[in-house]
Amino acid sequence: MNAEEQAARIKTLDAADPLAHKRDEFELPSETLYLNGNSLGPLPKSARARVQEVVDRQWGQDLIAGWNKHGWIDLPFSVGDKVAGLIGSATGQVICCDSISVNLFKLLTAALRMREDRTVVLSQKGNFPTDLYVAQGVEKLLGNERCSLLTVDESQIREALTEDLAILLLTQVDFRSGSLLDIEALTLAAHEKGILVIWDLAHSAGVIPLELDAWQVDFAVGCGYKFLNGGPGAPAFIYANRKHHDGLVQPLQGWMGHKAPFEFDECYRPAQGVAQFLCGTPNILSLAALDAALDVFDGVDIVALRHKAIQLGELFLELVDGSKALGEFELLSPRAANERGSQLAYAHPQAYAISRALNAEGVIVDFREPNVLRFGFSPLFLSFEDIRRAVERLCYVVTEGIFEAEVHQERKKVT
């Protein structure tokens, strides 16, 4: 295909994009090509307006009355119910609070108590480190006679499901390669062996169709600041299937998870259901931002988001494949679109310097150790033309050797 035909095709794709109008709902610097919505979603205009309102009027004028007057106290639940709509959950099973790491601790310890005759927690090799760190921490805390972590390659998970396992703790989308696990099939296979499942949906929620209730998932966690665009450090969420609400016990017992926090009872009595997963006072500014950010999803079908994310990724893949200048980029993601999430990862010996040079050129991407460039395709605000321009700038950075400049070699604290 020549350049003209390609330009025409990209124009057609953008013209036919049913989500194109969503871009206007975000604040994005005009010259920036943001292929990083999978790491930190951009600022929705609705979130900016809400945070201003909460700071200036609610907190500024109404002070402590805000807890009742503006429903601050209910935000973990109401925002949770909005997330529920995006992950195939009925209301009353999702709560927004804390980080994924803290929430995994609560879930893992609670789930282990539900399988007292078993000890093994199975996870995947290469899982996001925090998931493994939390499991290792629980192992240390409870001792190996109550918890022992086992990790296997993704391809070995199925055969590793035995009746010794208490918990299957998996991340659906691999944070490096983007490879995608089948939640429904693995949950079913785990249940056949009496194993409880905890899914990490960090790179799934808001971009991949999920049916947690229909798939009978036990527990899940997910991220507020990635595809949900809730802002830096946005509260994470916990999903706990209603079938487990009775008898649930999690050890981070704080007053907000008490049955009646304002009775100031000296004895802890857990609230019913997901409310028990609250620990301390909710982070209202962040919850308000996430609440407003989720309004961007109003009227949006996740199936359409997934479809566009795949189209964006396929276009990127095709343009990189077709470029001689990018011959040294080694694809680490599954080539089949239905086997990966909304990202593509490439290995390159100069990945770090290329990522810095690209960022300086306005193409914002991630670098991941040891040599991985990660491109995220957030379908709410990216156009097909953005993809074309991003690959064009990538070619420029590589063919002109822009990345070789000393300034691009220096490591930053956050990569």
Ligand X SMILES: *Cc1c(COP(=O)(O)O)cnc(C)c1O
CA distances in angstroms from 211 to 88, 119, 191, 370, listed in the order given: 4, 28, 16, 34
Residue 200 binds ligand X, judged by CB under 6 A: yes
Other Cβ atoms within 10 Å of 330 Cβ, number = 12
Q: Is 226 annotated as catalytic? A: yes
From 66-74, 94-102, 114-122, 187-195, span contacting ligand X (CB under 6 A):
94-102
Q: Which member of 105, 128, 329, 367 is catalytic?
A: 128
Q: In this structure, what DSSP letter does residue 54 have?
A: I
Q: Which member of 50, 82, 176, 226 is catalytic?
A: 226
Identify any residues that bridge with 270 across adjacent strands, giving them in sequence order.
258
Which long-range contacts link 145-151 to residues 24+ away (Cβ below 8 Å)? Answer: 145/119, 146/112, 146/119, 147/108, 147/112, 147/119, 147/121, 148/119, 148/120, 148/121, 149/120, 149/121, 149/123, 150/120, 150/121, 150/122, 150/123, 151/122, 151/123, 151/124, 151/125, 151/127
Q: Which member of 200, 218, 291, 386 is catalytic?
A: 200
Q: Is 403 annotated as catalytic? A: no
Of the pair 81, 131, the CB lying nearest ligand X is at 131
Q: Which residue of 34, 77, 105, 128 would you call a contact of ligand X, by CB under 6 A?
A: 128
**What do you get for the CA distance between the two ends of the chain, in Å?**
36
Helix, strand, coil in percent for the chain, rounding step 5: 45, 15, 40
Q: Which residue of 17, 25, 81, 131 would you call a contact of ligand X, by CB under 6 A?
A: 131
Phi, psi of 67 (to 5 degrees): -55, -40
Q: Is 182 annotated as catalytic? A: no
> Three-class SS of residue 199?
strand
Residue 99 binds ligand X, judged by CB under 6 A: yes
From 96-104, 237-245, 303-311, 325-333, span contacting ligand X (CB under 6 A):
96-104
Q: Is 225 annotated as catalytic? A: yes
Q: Is 200 annotated as catalytic? A: yes
Residue 151 binds ligand X, judged by CB under 6 A: no
Structural tokens at position 7: 């330009």
Of the pair 111, 202, the CB lying nearest ligand X is at 202
d(Cα 268, Cα 139) in Å, to the nearest integer? 25
Site string for ligand X, 230-269 (x = CB under 6 A): ------x---------------------------------
Q: Which member of 374, 377, 388, 403 is catalytic?
A: 374
Q: Judged by CB under 6 A, how many residues of this single chain contact ligand X?
A: 13
Smallest distance, ligand X to C-beta of residue 273, A: 22
Of the pair 101, 253, the CB lying nearest ligand X is at 101
From 127-135, 191-199, 296-304, 325-333, span contacting ligand X (CB under 6 A):
127-135
Smallest distance, ligand X to C-beta of residue 178, A: 11
Structural tokens at position 154: 């993704």
Residues 6+ apart with CB under 8 A from 14: 20, 383, 384, 385
Identify any residues that bridge with 372 across adjacent strands, giving them in sequence order.
347, 368
Residue 101 binds ligand X, judged by CB under 6 A: yes
From 81-89, 97-105, 260-268, 372-380, span contacting ligand X (CB under 6 A):
97-105
Q: Which residue of 149, 202, 205, 398 would you call a contact of ligand X, by CB under 6 A?
A: 202
Q: Which residue of 203, 368, 374, 408 would you call a contact of ligand X, by CB under 6 A?
A: 203
Identify any residues that bridge with 33 across adjacent strands, giving them in sequence order.
363
Of the pair 25, 200, the CB lying nearest ligand X is at 200
Element (H, E) at 284: helix 284-294
Q: What is the set of active-site residues?
A: 128, 200, 225-226, 374
Q: What residue ranges bind ligand X (CB under 6 A)? A: 99-101, 128, 130-131, 171, 175, 200, 202-203, 223, 236
